[in-house]
Structure 1
Amino acid sequence: MKFTAGMWCLQEGVQIDWMSNVERLKIEQEGVNLLLNKFQRHRGDTLNSPTISAQVTSPQEGIIGVKLVHWAGQVDNGPHYEISQSNGHTSINHDKTTNSLNYGSGPLQLDINTAANELDLVFRSPSNKKLTGHSGRSIGYVRDARSDKYRTDDGIYAEKQGYMLMGLDVGVGEKIYGLGERFGPLAKNGQTVDIWNEDGGTSSELAYKNIPFYMSSKGYGVFINHPGKVSLEVQSERTTRVNISVPGEEIEYFVVYGETPKDVLRRYTGLTGRPELVPSWSYNLWLTTSFTTNYDEQTVTGFLDGFRDRDIPLGVFHFDCFWMKSYQWCDFDFDTEMFPDARGYMKRLKERGLRISVWINPYVAQASPLFEEGKKNGYFIKRDNGSVWQWDMWQAGMAVVDFTNPAACRWYSSQLERLMEMGVDSFKTDFAERIPSKGVKYHDNSDPERMHNYYALLYNRIVYETLEVGVGHNQGLLFARSTAPGGQKYPVHWGGDCESTFEAMAESLRGGLSLMLCGYIFWASDIGGFEGTPPPALYKRWVQFGLLSSHSRLHGSSSFRVPWIYGEDCSAVLRNCVKRKILLTPYILQEALRGHRDGTPLMRPLFLEFPEDLNTYAVDTQYMFGSNLMVAPVFTEEGEVTFYVPQVEGTEGKWVSWFDHDKSYEAGQWYTETHDFDTLPILVRPGSVTLINPTLKAPENDALSGIQVLVNGRLAAKTTLEVVDPSQTDKILKTIQLSPAQDGQTVQCEGHAIEVVIIKA
């Protein structure tokens, strides 16, 4: 939110009290408390003037937090994000002779100038390089008369809307990334970003997944620990700063240091929660009924027969909204007119070897048989007058389940358990963005404004935990559209409603990469686009891209996404892409386990893998799929694609085409190629070792039988590879040791022959 009008003036009706002075400080065992005030000329300046209390702490090594409070007497009903805490890693040194205070947390240092009227906070790296900080006029309290609450006839008691405002410095050439799943340019410089979940599709500034965390190209991240609306002006108000504001009386943020971007993510996910893993079967292809299409058991069976007859592997079938009767979402019952024998049909689908997913949302329509039960027992969000909050957007008379009520959670969970007992394996947790923030009351008295974003976290958590209880740890998964910080613990997430265009395909990729920089390691898009019917060329290109995402789902709105509708050549492309992803299963499981351990996403922007190569920071049309494979999706009907080949520090050798091992690429160069639909730029990293299994028919099959190791170039050193157990994706099935002397030989691993294939000598 903008409050200023250039460097010197404020917008009409705005008053800002800037903090310029450290009035006093108190050093404690693990933290520092500062009292900040305005510029002080004499003692009279302490009158009729606000102060801001600043508390400096460190929840974990390499992370420093600053909490700024104007008025401390406000009621705090929550909610609050979960933050992992530890201690014993801080150092504090206050030099009164130089008016300086240094607060250290492992490699990260915070220098505070305590000299009179010289307030300055600088975060520094171990080499003493400035990362960011607060320079002049960057910590303040805003009083805004432009709000509805301001009444001039209240005289001296007239209340303006208050905001906490802080500005963090941005250096020359510094790039800012993240802030959730945002579909505009990957670098957020010059953008205004409001952290407020909205159902806005993928082609605007609105976002389903708003995460108040950004990563800088200078080697740090910033997490704003506030569940309500956070507004960021990323060099869009002051060109040298990220201005951050929240309504109310306090704001807290954490600066997260990292020697590399991956290190920043490791610390950030250590703070907010490590991403959980998913079952191996989920990496197979998902097919849905699409949204508003007409379908019944005969329609679905015809689709499944079509995939079988064309030898296209399929792992999951998803029933979208109209598996339930219209106007009754959610009642958690199959529409008996379309599915007269739902339980029997679930059994027949299971006999085909399929997993089953069904669509749900956190709302209950008035026509649902569950509405009266929820109303009677107080399971819904209420208006201030005690009535159930309802509206007709999306569903007629729709009520919202109150997940702050433990009884409502048990009730909702019992509906899911009933479906799981029928054979449902996963739930698509749609919506949770349309959550009222004014005039409503929660069971636990949570602040409605702070609950608007946080609600998605509660929704996904109750569904995920219900699945975990039913099927076991790391065996349950969601297909979630909305989320909030910490939501990486409840995978998987998909990109929402995109159009059927090449531009929408590109914006979907940007959104996914942006989310991956916020602690999430799994992501999917609607292959073919959601809105509209894709032309065959787009369908095939999105298939190529979608089957090189962590999760792959064919989905649309008013038209089906089975490939033969678009031509049998589309079936061939889909078949090849699915089989390629399945043979990559050992590699995908290995990379996912790495992400679970340290927060490194399966799909990642180039700079996350190659931070030394400055050219990678501007690239948002290609990505790394794991550590070893670079992917450049084709976004043109003609098949032309321009892509950059990153420089790999400390590694000799060339990148090699996945499809033609005799075709190599020089690092640090741009290439333009034209591809038919049987290929796209997939490049194998020089010096890499990649586990594959060409004999696999499904991701959950025997991982060891038929496993191969692809080596691009000669091994420079001894290499250890972990083969993940497909039945328990957090467990290591076997450990393979390779050494340079074994290049080109067969390696024995407890009775299993591991073929080592040199794809480029």
Structure 2
Amino acid sequence: MILTKRNICFFGVVTLFILPSFGQAKWEKVAPGVWRTVVGVPDEFTLLTAAGIAPKMEALAAMSEVTFPLDAGQIVGEVTENQTQLRFPLERVEQLFGFGLQFKTVHQRGRILRLHVDHYGNADNGRTHAPVPFYVSSRGYGVFVNAARYIDVYAGTASRRDSPNPPEARDRNTDKDWSANPYSDAVEMRIPSAGVEVFVFAGPTPLEAVRRYNLFTGGGPLPPRWGLGFTQRVHRLFSDEQVREEVDAFEERGFPLDFVGLEPGWLSKSYPNTFVWDPVRFPDPEGFMRDLKDRGVRINLWVNPFVSPDSPIYGDILPFTGSHTVWAGVVPDLTIQASQRIFWGIFEQEHLDKGASGYKIDEVDGFDEWLWPDVARFPSGYSAEQMRQTYGLLVQKQSMDLFRQKNQRTYGLVRASNGGGTSFPYVIYNDNYDHRDFITALINSGYAGVLWTPEARASKTAEEWLRRMQTVVFSPMAMINAWASGTKPWSFPEVEDEVRLMARLRMQMMPYWYSEFAKYHFEGTPPFRGMSLEPGFSDASQLITVSDQDADLETNPYAQATRKEVKDQYMAGEYLLVAPMFAGETSRQVVLPSGKWFDFYTGDYVGDGEIITVTPGLDKIPVFVKDGGIIPMTEVRMHAPKKGEKYTLEVRHYGERPGEYLLYDDDGETFDFEQGAYSWRRLSVTKQRNGAWKGEVSKPEKGKPDNLASISWRFMTVR
């Protein structure tokens, strides 16, 4: 059977509210703050079809009621020659964010992109691992185009002759304000399809628009606790004994470890893959994984989906594969149920049944010369382009369902995703290794409904290694990827103690990280996000106009303007602002939102709505806490708490204001939380009449999880 229309009804129980609009398009209100329209005849197979998710309607209904955020009469949708063109209005001071996982830019107004799943090629041109066709405006709304196509975007770059707000014609000979980029009042898109489905998300703030998009696309994933611990990916040809030795070394040196990633050498053959264990390197995979799990360490398996002629499933799956091969392996058409049964059947038998806890799904993004070409054909009849745009979604959804059937949560890595993939428990990674780009990508992931890891692999100096490890600790996945280098946390002895302290800090912060991911799941708030989504942040960026007098017209003949951006600091959870240091830096500037902020390590006051300069020393990554912030922490642990294991809680309070925090709890491993087996405990700090702080925690609900062994309070800011 072939997947056709998406199997989830988004709108069946919703009263439709029709707004005036251009032409024949009608805007339907499908959830609080969410509207939908259809232009022309959309493709049967879309991003939401591939993702196969259901909106979190109850959570959306709990959000505030708002009006349609745009002038519907200025939204244009036209179909000509089997392609759809869309136009959305822009105000003069409006800024845009999103359009997928970008690595060099945060502000997207003035950019031209082709949203195309691909390996990132060191340029923000739309070809990226997650080219999500969703953007959010500084005015507090978002737009999502539900099309599994390569989408051309002109994000405020073109000026129409009939525009109601046309640019002014200027004389370059006499006018110093002449610009090669005249004002544009619209976002325009081209979709190579005879129609498209479009959604608009209201705010009223940019963060609320992002939250509505995330909830509409399933809510964020809730990883198992062990997934938020520390992970080491070992050398690609390690044997089971070498992995055991690595685990022993982590334990002996006092480094936490929750899961180990095995690279291609665990397979009998790879590139293309057999999906069965190498009998020499891993003669007893079931015993091997059982032994490590008993020690608190799980196994994650590298795979890509291309089937070797030597795989046991090759003959059965061959009729359900595409016309072109990748590395001489056939490409399963994963929109066909028969193909899914064959392909994932061997995963269940060889991997999950023997104890594997997750996957790193590689090579589902690009490059063009590696993957199937756009002339390829698939037995489902869907185009190679549609397959390219959705293959990352398909492998995430279908592998996640394997674990769901066993009531086991998973957390892994993937090379490609797209719109609709918000709820999948996968973190994106790539082969680029620019530390600054990694931070910009982490910021942009929060606008795209995806997760990104700034992994550590290797470094030229001890300083660089420590700086990268500090960033890893404040990210969705604390990972060393040593598949090629064999790097260890202690590879630079001169900073081993500092790296160990950072790794342990990750584990101490487990209650905070776990609660923030729960908010992502239940409320749609990205756990890692850009400063423009933070209330009170005054965006200090601006266009720096370059005049002919100041420009080098030989190299820049059109005097292009440049843009200042805040792309090297981000919010981590409800209360933390993280400002990474990079190799060679001893100090840096940090832009603080309005309201008082305090040093995470000392509790000292640092500033209020201003730009500060910090000199943290080599051993610390600058982290700041909002006034009244509460950070729940636990003791230093080598492994995340297991199901049913109690842990101690130290609650830290910062600043001069009372504060509250919702602490999330469940069993940490299963999907039982979806049936109500979870709890929120309210942590609150108030000031007594004598000026002393007092901390309180709400009582556990009867029949709800209660994994707290003891609670202590630490008031970090002392007058």
**Is this a same-fold pair by TM over 0.5?**
yes
What is aligned with 2:655?
713
Distance 1:603 1:415 in 2: 35
Query: Map of 1:552-567 to 2, 5 A cutoff?
Result: 552-556=478-482, 558-565=484-491, 567=492
Contact conserved, 1:266 with 1:600, CA < 8 A, in 2? yes
What is aligned with 1:430?
362
What is aligned with 2:334?
403
Query: Map of 1:249-648 to 2, 5 A cutoff?
Result: 249-290=194-235, 293-327=236-270, 329-375=272-318, 378-381=319-322, 383=323, 389-391=324-326, 395=327, 397-418=328-349, 419-434=351-366, 436=372, 438-472=374-408, 475-499=409-433, 504-520=434-450, 522-528=451-457, 533-556=459-482, 558-565=484-491, 567-611=492-536, 613-615=538-540, 618-648=565-595
Larger RCO (alpha carbons 8 Å, 6+ apart): 2
Q: Bigger shift: 221-230 or 318-327?
A: 318-327
What is aligned with 2:546?
none
**Residue 105 of structure 2 is aligned to residue 185 of structure 1:** yes
**Residue 157 of structure 2 is aligned to residue 223 of structure 1:** no
Q: Bigger shift: 631-640 or 297-306?
A: 297-306
Aligned-partner residue type, residue 655 of structure 1: W
Structure 1 residue 110, shift from structure 2 partner = 7.2
| 3-state SS of paired residue (2:251) | helix
Cα distance, 1:677–1:471 mapped onto 2, change above 3 Å: farther
Distance 2:615 2:658 in 1: 34
Cα distance, 1:759–1:85 mapped onto 2, change above 3 Å: closer
Cα distance, 1:300–1:235 mapped onto 2, change above 3 Å: same
Aligned residue pairs total 627
Contact conserved, 2:376 with 2:383, CA < 8 A, in 1? no
Aligned-partner residue type, residue 754 of structure 1: I
Structure 1 residue 703, shift from structure 2 partner = 7.6
**Residue 127 of structure 2 is aligned to residue 211 of structure 1:** no
Distance 2:269 2:620 in 1: 42
After superposition, the C-alpha distances for 1:68-97 in whole angstroms (9 at most, x for unaligned) are: 22xx5x98566754586899xxxxxxxxxx
* 2:598 corresponds to which of 650, 653, 656: 656
After superposition, the C-alpha distances for 1:585-629 in whole angstroms (9 at most, x for unaligned) are: 111111111111121111111221225533389411011111111
| 3-state SS of paired residue (1:487) | coil
Contact conserved, 2:95 with 2:107, CA < 8 A, in 1? yes
Distance 2:623 2:56 in 1: 42
Percent sequence identity is 21
Distance 1:541 1:462 in 2: 36
Aligned-partner residue type, residue 652 of structure 2: L
Cα distance, 1:409–1:279 mapped onto 2, change above 3 Å: same
Cα distance, 1:203–1:286 mapped onto 2, change above 3 Å: farther
What is aligned with 1:15?
none
Distance 2:490 2:646 in 1: 34
Cα distance, 1:188–1:370 mapped onto 2, change above 3 Å: same
Distance 2:374 2:448 in 1: 28
Cα distance, 1:752–1:363 mapped onto 2, change above 3 Å: closer
* Runs of 4+ with >6 A deviation: 32-35
Distance 1:219 1:35 in 2: 22
Contact conserved, 1:746 with 1:754, CA < 8 A, in 2? no
What is aligned with 1:41?
none
TM-score by length of structure 2 reads: 0.80
Distance 1:303 1:262 in 2: 42
| 3-state SS of paired residue (1:671) | strand
Structure 1 residue 356, shift from structure 2 partner = 0.6
Higher Cα Rg, which structure: 1
The alignment yields a C-alpha RMSD, in angstroms, of 3.0
Structure 1 residue 525, shift from structure 2 partner = 2.6
Distance 1:252 1:705 in 2: 48
Cα distance, 1:34–1:308 mapped onto 2, change above 3 Å: closer
Contact conserved, 1:33 with 1:55, CA < 8 A, in 2? yes
Structure 1 residue 248, shift from structure 2 partner = 2.6
Structure 1 residue 217, shift from structure 2 partner = 0.6
Distance 1:367 1:669 in 2: 62
Distance 2:18 2:682 in 1: 46
Structure 1 residue 477, shift from structure 2 partner = 2.6
Distance 1:682 1:85 in 2: 34
Distance 2:617 2:330 in 1: 50
Cα distance, 1:739–1:759 mapped onto 2, change above 3 Å: closer
Structure 1 residue 139, shift from structure 2 partner = 4.8
* 1:725 corresponds to which of 666, 676, 679: 666
Aligned-partner residue type, residue 551 of structure 1: M
| 3-state SS of paired residue (1:58) | strand
Contact conserved, 2:55 with 2:215, CA < 8 A, in 1? no
What is aligned with 1:54?
25
Q: Bigger shift: 742-751 or 187-196?
A: 742-751
Aligned-partner residue type, residue 307 of structure 1: F
Structure 1 residue 34, shift from structure 2 partner = 7.1
Distance 2:70 2:155 in 1: 24
Structure 1 residue 481, shift from structure 2 partner = 1.8
| 3-state SS of paired residue (1:479) | strand
Contact conserved, 1:526 with 1:556, CA < 8 A, in 2? no
Distance 1:29 1:737 in 2: 40
| 3-state SS of paired residue (1:589) | helix
Structure 1 residue 557, shift from structure 2 partner = 5.2
